[in-house]
Structure formats: structure tokens, C-alpha cells
Chains A and B, each alone.
Chain A
Amino acid sequence: MRSDAATTGVITVRVNQRPVRIVNGASVAVAVLAAQSACRISVTGENRAPLCGMGTCFECRVTIDGKAHQRGCQITCIEGMEIRCDE
């Protein structure tokens, strides 16, 4: 959680049904990383987290409000978002 003066508030989203408090304006990928170490499990079972941070590597794919394969690093958290990802 950020504590510098520029914080513009804290919001809550849910990652795999667990509430996660995150600074307002944070991306979904960052919210997931605040909750667990991985965004997704690879096809051979490896933990994966964002690599490129800019929407080209697709390692940060999660399901947001029911829509699968959303790039978490490209999407800003909104209060109440339901994020599902591999655990």
C-alpha cells in the first residue's frame, strides 16, 4: 500500500473472492500481485507474473467481472471489481 502524499485514496477489489485494498488508479495486475505471487499458471504449471508491463507479453491475463483473458496491466482497478485468476 502506498503511503506517500500523492495517494488519492484506497479502493477495494476482490481477487479470487478475497478483498484486496489497493491505491486508487492501480492496475489490475498490481492488485493481483498485492494478493498473491502469480497472475496465472502456465500450461506446464509454472507461476507467472507480468513481464513486460505494457500489454505485449500476455502473462498478466486474468478474468475480470466474468470476462476471461483480460490483460491486467492494461486495465485500471474499479471499486468492487471481481478478479479471478489461477492460484
Chain B
Amino acid sequence: MKSSLDVLIAGAGIVGAACALELARAKMRVAIVDRSFPASGATGASMGHIVAMDDSEAQFALTRYSQVLWHELRDALPSTIEFDRCGTIWLACDDEELAEARRKHAYYRERGVAAEILDSAAVHDAEPNLKTPMAGGLLVEGDAVVYPPAATAYFLERAAALGATVILDRSVRKLGGSQALLDDGTVISADKLINAAGCCAPELAEGIQVKPRKGHLVITDRYPGMIRHQLVELGYLKSAHSVTADSVAFNLQPRKTGQILIGSSRQYGAMDERVDTEMVSRMLHRAFEFVPKLESLSAIRVWTGFRPATPDSLPLIGPWEKDPSVLLATGHEGLGITTSLATAKLIRAHIDGSEPAIPLAPYLPSRHILAEIHA
């Protein structure tokens, strides 16, 4: 018997919300369920950067495709989303890092991403509050920043306007066999089920390799103009890579409010929400090394969040090999905001059988089986 719904999505973070909108646009009958309120998980804690990352071809393809989608969407976005094309400067502290910047530059240019090498004078000109002297940097002007909760709310609003059902404050207990069992006993049938539950995804799909990766962020009071671009150290990826060690990496973001968001940290372990003052200290000290003026700024809030991380740093997008009715859309680690739109497109393409804009293979949940076979 055909279900009344085409799709049920578990999780109303930015990925789930983007999927809801994309599928509702495709005239599918969609329901989306969240155990709390929209963006209450990783999305609500996140930095909100939209960035093309070159960690691997697959990561680049996904982030770049998604970044283009964000730019296409930007004029339609309400001001609450605070879309700001501030760009990113990857900072090189020495010649070795400058060489890495040049490598990145070539990589981006070959793939059509606007990027410019900045020498020492140019980088200090672009960011007068950087500690002198920097060796230089790489400016990627297409990178942007958004306020993720507002984007999530907007996607859900639009999806609902197109007929999607939004169910909040309800947990999904079981997701499989074209059915979702909710905590109040309700059973919802849908042809396809999408697990976009972030760090909770393994609760609904046993055995999938998604683990929480704790991060800390500090936000300051308003200091407009103190920094103009998102600033990242070239060592950022080394931190993102490390599978076991607690690490910090310099990452600064100007918000449209004039506040400065200071990150980033990564820790594996249990989901303990409490602020770890030692990690905050390490993270801040790293930030002071790049922008000494930060020391005297007033910090209003400190919070933690959990990125859903996978062993190979690529998200799980596509059919779950253990249940043909389930699609995974999770494990985005620190790139969920960026890749939310592309994830939705890929999911849609898979469901309606159309050709995806980029190959789905690298993100397939079954890739770990293939990896084992080929090992």
C-alpha cells in the first residue's frame, strides 16, 4: 500500500531543513520531525561559514557545488540570515605556510574558484589588526558567513508553504521499513526516510560511524571593523584531521553585527555540554597569536556544540545499505552549513532518479564496505 508521504525527514537541523525544502519544491509530500526546535543541535552552535575546502577532491566538489548554490540563493534570503560575502583569508605565518598557500591558490584557480595570493604588505593592509609580520595569505573572496538558525527557519518556512508538514518536540524512536515511530506512539509511513539527525543519527541507524566532535566558540561584544574577513590559519586542516587528539586551530569570523566569533576546537569523547575552560584557554591563546587586540575585547558568551564526524571526514549522503527505505544525510562535521544545499540536491537526485550535479559515490554510506573490499 502506498504511503501517504513520499519522504519523512528525521532532524530539523540545516541539512534536514534544506532537504525538506528541496523535496517539497520537487512536489514530493514531505514531513520533517525534530525532537526539539529547529537548529537545536549542531546547526545552532555552528559558526555558519560557507567555504570551499580543498581537503580532498570529494570535499572540494561538495563544498564548491554547495557554495555556488548559496550564492544563487542569496538575493532571496531574508536579512535575518545575515548573508555576508566577507571572504576568507588563509593566513601564512612563514614561508613554508606561504608555499602551502600557493598550492591552495593553484588548486582553487584550476577549479574556477577566485583566489588571490596576498603578500605580507597586502595581508596587513587587508587586516590591520593582524600581528605583524605575517608572511602572507590566500584571499578566497567567494566565501561567506550566514546565521544558521535563521537559514534553517527560513528553509522550513518555505517548505511548509509548499505543503511540507513540520513536527516539532517529537523524538523519532525508530526509523526504518518505510516507517517512523515517534515517542508518542505515532507511526508515520513514508516511501523514503531521511536520517538527518546529526550526532543522534546512529541512534536511528545502528552501526553508522558518526561520532560527536565537541567544539567551543566565544563571541565578543560589538567591535565593527576590527576584522573584515573570515581568518583561518593554514594549520586548520591538520586540526580537523586528527582523529584522536584534542586540538585547537585559529579561526575568526566577523559577524554582520560587528561581533567577532572566535574558534575553533575539536575533541572526541562523550557529549558533555559543559564548557571546558582549558580548551577555551588554548583556543583563545592561539587566537591572540594572530590578533593580539582580541585580548582586551569583551567576551559575552562561550558555548559548546557537537559536530557529527565520520572517520574519513566526508558526510554520509545516500542510501543506507541496511535498509532500502532509508537515506542518510549526516556526518557533515564542520561543513554542514556549507554543504546543506548540495546535500539536499544530491538526495533529491537520488530519489527522483535524475543525474546529480556531482557524483554521489564518494559520500555513499556503503563506501566503507567498498573500502574494506578493496583493502
Contact = CB atoms under 8 A, between A and B. Distances in A.
Interface residues of A, number: 4
Interface string A32-75: 00000000000100000000000000000000000111000000
A69 B221 contact: yes
B257 A68 contact: no
A73 B247 CA distance: 40
Majority DSSP secondary structure for residues of A touching B: strand
Contacts of B296: 67
Nearest to B220: A69
Nearest to A61: B221
Interface string B285-317: 000000000001010000000000000000000
Interface residues of B, number: 6
Interface string B205-225: 000000000000000011100
Given A68-B221, A69-B221, A43 B298 contact: no
Contacts of B223: 68
Contacts of B221: 68-69
B174 to A, nearest CB: 45
Contacts of B298: 68-69
Contacts of A67: 296
Interface in B235-269: 257
Contacts of B257: 43
A22 B298 CA distance: 28
Contacts of A43: 257
A77 B221 CA distance: 23
Nearest to B258: A43
A16 to B, nearest CB: 18
Nearest to A67: B296
Nearest to A70: B298
A64 B257 CA distance: 22
Interface in A6-37: none
A67 B221 CA distance: 12
A67 B296 CA distance: 8
Interface of A: 43, 67-69
Given A67-B296, A69-B222, 6 more contacts: A43-B257, A68-B221, A68-B223, A68-B298, A69-B221, A69-B298
8 contacts: A43-B257, A67-B296, A68-B221, A68-B223, A68-B298, A69-B221, A69-B222, A69-B298
